[in-house]
Structure 1
């Protein structure tokens, strides 16, 4: 499902999202997994080209 919205995360949280870390993202609390994802802005607030989901 694609909601066509920007993904923005604090730089300390970005690694957990990029690695799909189920502990640091709390996905395990809900008994689910998480696909790795890349945010749309880097630490310098420059837009990162978005890759379409497979």
Structure 2
């Protein structure tokens, strides 16, 4: 990579990281101020949630 390509790559990923940090940090902070406990909203995954019949139709089995 050229030096300018590497600088563009670093700038792109840095700005993207900052934007995501501001977005999700703002959501988390507003929830914290509103009294929301985000860890209570975690959905546990169970294999019964997967529709096997629908997946077989999509794949063509």
Q: TM-score range by the shorter chain?
A: under 0.3
Q: TM-score if structure 2 supplies the norm length?
A: 0.22
Q: TM-score if structure 1 supplies the norm length?
A: 0.24
Larger radius of gyration: 2
User: Relative contact order: is structure 1 or structure 2 higher (C-alpha 8 Å, sep ≥ 6)?
Assistant: 1
